[in-house]
Amino acid sequence: MAESVIPPVPPVTVPVVGGGTFPVRRIFCVGRNYAAHAREMGHDPDREAPFFFTKPADALITGGADMPYPTMTSDLHHEMEQVVAIGKGGSHIAESEAMSHVWGYGCGLDMTRRDMQAEAKKLGRPWDMAKGFDKSAPISDLVPAFDIDPGKGHIELKVNGKIRQTSDLNMLIWSVPEVISYLSKLVELQPGDLIFTGTPEGVAACVKGDVLEGSLDGVGIVKTTII
Ligand code: MN
């Protein structure tokens, strides 16, 4: 076998509650998936099919590690989200089969350079540098699916102990099975893929020193400090 010409990149992994690690392949994020958040961003939630963007796997921050305030922005926003971990790949997955492709769940923060995203929207440019920058995805440890219902559960984000975002997964416009089915028509899902299912209303700016602590009932806690 030909030898690697530079040292191979170690796999990105997320700790699993109770032991072990989940190797991450790709991160997909749903754009607008709560009506109240779509409205706060100036959109009509009733007329839009789900849409997706991605972050690189190594954008993840695990274990409550600090998040450096990113370069090239002065408007870093938090987006608290449910995360679905795919254990079995597939394409054109039927909604009725979608749950059998889920390994487990977590919760995470889709951190966003909002000023850069606004400019990208205005100019019709990609969102990659607004969304997929280094350390843009703090995430909780993951829990195996067992009997978790991904369609309900309180989701909340506190910043410095004060509630900034609060909602329930029953407010999702596109359910987890619908998201998996739709996404699997666009790409062949693979074991190790993560899906951030969108944020509820209440997104806002963070500054250095802020302590972000998000929780999803029955799933876990994501924590990071902006430094
Ligand atoms: Mn988001």
pTM over 0.95, yes/no? yes
- Beta-carbon contacts of 155 under 8 Å, excluding residues fewer than 6 positions away, are 80, 81, 82, 107, 165, 166, 167, 168, 169, 200, 214, 215, 216, 217
Distance 214 CA to ligand 1 centre (A): 14
pLDDT at residue number 55? 98
Distance 28 CA to ligand 1 centre (A): 10
Q: In the structure, what pLDDT confidence band is assigned to residue 203 with cuts at 50, 70 and 90? A: very high
Distance 69 CA to ligand 1 centre (A): 18
Q: In the structure, what pLDDT confidence band is assigned to residue 118 with cuts at 50, 70 and 90? A: very high
Distance CA 17, CA 75 (A): 33
pLDDT at residue 208 is higher than 90: yes
pLDDT at residue number 16? 98
For the stretch 136-159, pLDDT in tens is 999 999 999 988 999 999 999 999
pLDDT at residue number 37? 84
Distance 174 CA to ligand 1 centre (A): 14
